[in-house]
Amino acid sequence: MDKMIAFCGFICTDCAEYLATQKNDDKERERLAGLWAERKYRGEIKPADINCDGCLSKSGRLWVNCRNCPIRKCGLERHVKNCAYCSDYICTDLESFFSTFPEAKSNLEEIRKSL
């Protein structure tokens, strides 16, 4: 499977929610919903909510984080492959995001090296 790099730099194809969806694995959906419940994330996440075809998907299933993501919205509006390809890289939304998820920044930096 080819890597799908989200606008923000996450690797969608490594994401547990993405993998559970692609495998149509209801037991994994239940497990993940339990983990989100433990974190008390944005209300109740049900196993049926664990459906995602990846951040770059323009139609189809999206995880709640991706559906409401301002970084994703911006990337779609700018028609970029991901934020590494954006002329405004690194914007304030990404700076804030990278402070919590430095691995995402590393992924985008690797892409930028090859541009």
Distance (Å, rounded) from C-alpha 17 to C-alpha 35? 11
Torsion sign across C-alpha atoms 80, 81, 83, 84 = negative
pLDDT tens per residue across span 53-78: 999 988 779 888 888 899 999 999 99
In the chain, where are the structural domains located? 12-113
- Band of the pLDDT at 45, cuts 50, 70, 90? confident
Q: Do the Cβ atoms of 17 and 57 come closer than 8 Å? A: no
- Band of the pLDDT at 113, cuts 50, 70, 90? very high
Who has greater pLDDT, 36 or 16?
Answer: 16
Reported as half-sphere exposure (CB side, CA atoms, 13 A), residue 6 has a value of 29
Burial (CB count within 10 angstroms: exposed 0-12, middle 13-18, buried 19+), residue 21:
buried
pTM: 0.86
Q: Do the Cβ atoms of 28 and 18 come closer than 8 Å? A: no
Output the average pLDDT for the chain: 91
